[in-house]
Structure 1
Amino acid sequence: MKKGYCGIISVHFDSEHYLVIIGGVGTSSMNTPKQPDAQYSAHVTNNTAVMFRGSTDNGRSNKLYMISFTKTSVDILEVPNPGGSVQWPEGRYAHSSVLITTSSGPHLLVVGGSPVYDVWLLDINKRKWKELINLPANVTNRYWYSLSVWSVIPTTNWIIEFGGATAYTGTAVIELRYTSDNDWSTSVIPLDQYQDQLRRRILSDWENLGTEKQLQIFQDCLQLQKERKFYEEQLQREIKEKEQIQQDREKEQQQLLQEKATLSQQLDDATTLLEQAEKDKSSLELEYNEKLKVKVAEILEEKTQVEEKKQIITEDYEKLKVKVTDLTELLEEKEEQYLKEKHIIIGTNNDSEEETIGDTPNDSSNGAGENSSGGGATPSTSTTPPHDSINDDPSQLVHEVESHTTDEQTIQQSDHVLSDSDGPTATVSCEQCPARNDDESSTDQSTTHSAASRDTLYSGMMYYDKKQAGHWKAMYSVVRDLEVLKRYFESEQGSSIEYDNVVDSFKFIEPNGTLKLTLHTVQEVGWTVNPDRKPMKLLQSRVDQFPLNPSYATCSMSVYAKPGIAKDSLHCPIELTGIDPDTIICINRSPPFSSSMRNSTSSSSSTASISQTRRETEEGTFRSDIAHRVMTECTGIIKEKVGLYPLIDRLVEKRMISDAEKGQIIDTSTGLTANQRMDELLSLVKASIREDGEDFGLFLEIIKQENTRRADRLALTLLDNYRRLV
């Protein structure tokens, strides 16, 4: 954009400054109306200016305008010319004007122009013109020139002219004074008297100020001097502080260099010690290897001796086996002979009884008595052979085996041979060897104990020991009596233990079984769960030793939450196997509150909120915002423990979702997975709970309708999380 003969002013609004170009001749990027030679003053206020018209397309103009600016618009107001006897300057162009500020308000001074040569003064507030007369031609007879104002004193302004297109182009100074009778006086100050007149005006103004005003000026000067002295002292202090800071920084740098040198020396010493330790380690390893070789040699020698003893025992065993075989054959012969003799005697007795009965039927008692006392030739009717008929008694056999070897292992092997042999030998061992009966009794007792151990009911409970902010020790203990566990930890740990309200009851599947805990992957951001030992297993035999050995009945895990990163609650599943029933427990923790969260709420308001929410919970109502947060945090555990289709039917029955919404979720044509369908369903439930907190209570009732311990634990977990957030 190029312009000539235009006006320019400064405006200020919205804490920003702008330059405004008015009128002129030349090209413009904006379609603004033509306004050549528009004359103006400086802004009357921050966003207001006054303009006295110049040359236009219709010729010279004497119109007066008040212009108001905003950031997006310009408001131009024309001041009407009343005409008649009211003074009003004629139309002109190439004139100049300045703004003069006095105690009576702002005024616009218009000087010269073509083709009229006069001077006019406008009272902007009153919209009245006044012509100033008695000014020489070198002041009024000018156009295309520069005009400026200088306020010498509050009542005196000097107007300075320079240049122009007429014969008068030199510098001229006009003095414009506002008199006490609300009038103006004008005079021309020659340039050679400029400095002298300036001193006179200042002294005159000083004299007119009076003693009180002069005293005020002196006091202001003193105050300025004091402030200057204060700022100079402050500057000196800042300079000294800066120097001190620089010195301290240099000292710190020196200290850091010294510490660096010390650390470097310590590092060198540590490296030397490490190298020496490696050498010592090598020496110890060599010494240990030598000792190990000696020990191996001793073990090999002992092994050789054991092999020799084993060979001797094997030979004795073969001899014993031959002896037992011979004894077995002898016993078979003796038994066969005994049976033959018994058969002959039994036949003879039968014949004698028949004769007695046939000859003397009335003396049966006597015959019987004779038979009873008939000389003891009749043997016993027992199937067990008499001891005097067998020369080799089994107990004597055992003593004979013991006489051949004194090694305990050999005795056990001989017993094994006797008990496991076939035929009559096995019969003798079962009836005559008490050691075999004891083994069978022990086996029966072991079987009874195993059955009892399988029927024993155990209790498992999760509890937490808070170490510090964002760090817990999560522990799962298994005991027979849960109250014993609680009393033990109350006495050992005090009040730092936080118990879980969920207690698991189960039995071990196998006798002296093993409970295995499998930790699932942590899904929540900012949380870490690390087992204190791997694998996490609890043996039934060691669990039974509680409280003598408490660590045998407990698996512990370290839980960490990163402050500011862990924002969601932790629900880490742990699968329990090796028990009946199998179950899944959870580590449930809430992220630690940051200092900003703790400071945002006063203690009194928090106490009031907790009390109010507890009353609401006892009355059966729930806050929708807290209930919605619980549902959001526990979405994962709900999806793990609740089936999709039974939950849909119960939600429709309770009118928490509609039949149409049910149809959309179970529609197989959508291609959604079961997990995605559950997400859609829980989104509807959470939306319903956000609208009405009572729906959270309905949802808890729906979960409990499954009528399982798993469902009861889930409902209790949701309710505990709600109370915790309250």
Structure 2
Amino acid sequence: MLGVACLEEVKKRMSGKSFKIRAQHKAPVIGESLYLWAGNQVDLPKGHDSLQKREVTSRVDVYQLSTADWSSHLTRGTPPLGVIAYSCTTSHSNIYYFGGWCGQDLCYHNTLNVLNTIKMEWTSCSDAEQSLMKKGYGGMISLEFDGAEHLVIIGGIGSTPTVYHPQFQYDQLKTGRVRTNEQLLYNVSTGQFTVPSVSGQCCPSTDTFIIEKITTTGNRGVMFGGMVTVNGDGSTSTNSVYIFSVTHSIINWEILKPGAIPNEGLWPMERDHHASAIINGDSTSPTLVVIGGTDKRDQLVNECLLFDSITTGQYSCRKIPLPESVTGRYSHSLTAVTMSPHCVWLVIVGGCEEYEMKDVGGGKKVPMGTYITDTNRLVMIIELVYSEAGEWIVESVLDGNDLTSKNYQEKYESYSKTRRWWMDQLIEYPTEREMKLQRYIQSLHEDLQVAHESKVSLQEALVEANKQVSAVYAVSLSKPLLKRLILEIQHCVDLTGRPGLSRHLKFAIAPVSTPSLPYQFSLVEGGEFKADSWYGSIQRKKFCLVSIVGEKHLPTCKSSTNGDESEEEEEEEQEEEAEEETEEEVEDGNSDSSSDSDKTKDPPGGRSGGQVLEIVMDERLEISIDPVNDGLGNVAENEEIGEQIIHQQSQCLASTAAESTGVEEAMTYAGLVYYEEKRAEDLVTFTAAKDLNALLEFIKKDCPHAERGQNILFRFKDYNGYIELKFDAPQKKPFTGWSIEPHMDSCKFLRCDVDKFGEANYPLPSTCLVSVYGSDDAVPTLHYSVPLDGVADPKTLFIHRSLRTVGLSLPAIPANPRPLPVLRKREQGLDLVSIKKRVQQVLTKHQVDLSQAFSLSLSSIFNEMAAVGIVSNDTEKSYEAIIKSFKVGMSFMKSSSDLESYCVKFLNGLSKVGGPVALAAETIYDEWTEASEGELLFDCLAKRTKNT
């Protein structure tokens, strides 16, 4: 952690300055102002909380770019206590802060607060902190998905969590802290936290990394560097780069391998405590800039890196020259401010410049940070311009002296006029609102209207001759594009381990300039399909419909020439119209190096030498070209379009069957389990479709109160086959007392039936209904495995239910129960020591929550424990003493029956107290049963005591 060397000297040098030196802070920008709150400061009072500390943290320093001056503002409300190494992001005029360290020992925080920069007022956002890990040094960004804005919180280091989520890692370090890769989602509209599922190559437990939003797609982010765990409890720096996307509470991770960065062959060195920003100008894609940090030997990393084209798959990483006065720092902030279409200012604030070894006593020395105190380095601005060569270069570096000069004012004024015009023209990559028929995207000053339509018209348009593997996109704005636009489109073909399959994926386009005519789809050359993801990208200059299609079969012969003459003439006219449209586009954009991506091939199903393409998605997505309509005018054409567009299909003269390309076999489907309560039973539904989004939209509309369970991605083992749910598979977990009854004799899903969901006559997805009922004497938790037969890779779903009980389902046990003979088949070889250890581990896991629950009803708990002999009258009335007495007594239990009886006495005593204590007893009961793996027979004991 950061310390301070030569504190008195620092205070002396900085006295009277309006800006207080600091590190481990953020400086987000809103409009033309940077907002700087808290951080590790020289004069920050020690202690968890105090009036003196609140006096410091109730102020926010604001840096005005127009004047290059700082001003201090007093805020209203209660500021957060996590003042150091917090996570921070902006939304409109609000700044959100999560977690952080207070500067004392292991005192981390887990509150989410928002600062309204207009009112300068703090507000607490959620009351769900008890279930959130207290941590700092993590990351938070704002993303848009599912029609709402969400905060995505990732990783960090902190104190021992009270709740562990099985999909994440929690590494216990020698320092007593816990490093994690825990991830949280916060819905800004509803104010609710959710814990997401993860897929792909998730990052390990990491802290002091950088995280940024990739603004071109709305729901994607990038993560780089940080500290990770080695050898169980050690730490080292990493240079890993991750791309992640969020949809429907699922975070999908993708790691960028070192070999994926071409060009200069530069792979960044390991680092932590660095700073970053995303820059957007007139470039083809966002660029990640990283400055400073420390390496795994705690040495400064004196460099500035630019990651170009991070959204296209053509990653490149290069250094740009900057003086050490800029790069020689760590724990600083970096903020990007767009000044014009071709210019970005990077504002760098504060930080530390080196480590000094300080004697902390006992012959021990620890590295302590030294703040940057040079007034010329406290605030610096790097001016980046986008050159004609197509790359960002450094135009100038402004230090403290430059920022107070007349030249700076003149420079700012010259950019200011351009910037106001630019902001009026700038279309922000917006919030994605997915709906079944439409979705709207809000831009900065104009609406970028998007409609989501069913696949009916597209299916009919491309008929049987095509296999579409993505939605159809059409980008259209009220102003012409300044430069070729890179479109990144998601498809459903699994390319993992099959990089060669990408050559059978093609982009298809159709002009939209004549909306009254049928859309003319043609194949175009170019585009990229990343082998380790689900995305393809292509550059476009003009507005048009864009989709991805896949070849079903390899060409085996030439197209037939015996077709009807009139049909051939009509087909040629359609081809000519499509070619004319794309030729114009090539002429307009031929100065671009990638203009070959606009060269058209034969339309799908036309004269393509026997190519057969396939359609697989359930939806089409378009954007209106008319800036004054409602966004639906050019999307919902009548169904006659489908009967006219590209209805010709190539026919083979050869009699032999064509060889499959493998596209169909690689197509991925989504399966989902959801639950509904039906009086005494639970109704479990398994459903499948091509698109998970379509399933979720259907469930949201048809079953708004359903509880969503696990979702999976799978591939059919045979293209014309089926998948089947196997309810008779051997079970690892006990299910005594539970009834699982499918509503069909054979729960099979034919692929052809799954494909039909979304068509005009198939509004419902394929489903299998299962009734689940638990009797009074059933095991408390059902975890029933249901393997899927007929899938390419083994998949197993689980039905997870708990008994519906008002209170804890534990029998009342008399203080001195009458012993009954019970047949024990497990006594021989039973490892009681291991079982006792697991019982104690459950109590240790919940010690924070238990301590709080005990404090609410300590006297009642003590009386109940004394009544059943867990504690004596001389035992101290405290949580620690009661738990210690229980553990000591447990050590004398010599048989499983004695241990079972002893544990149930303890739980029964807690259950009688009621309130949160009873809920705690129920949780412990469930986890003891699960942890003992059936070796503790609570059920047998319950039956025995009922008969007593």
TM above 0.5, yes or no, is no
User: Rg: which structure is higher?
Assistant: 1
TM-score (norm 2): 0.21
User: Normalized per residue, which structure has more strand?
Assistant: 2
User: Normalized per residue, which structure has more helix?
Assistant: 1
The structure with higher relative contact order (CA 8 Å, sep 6+) is 2
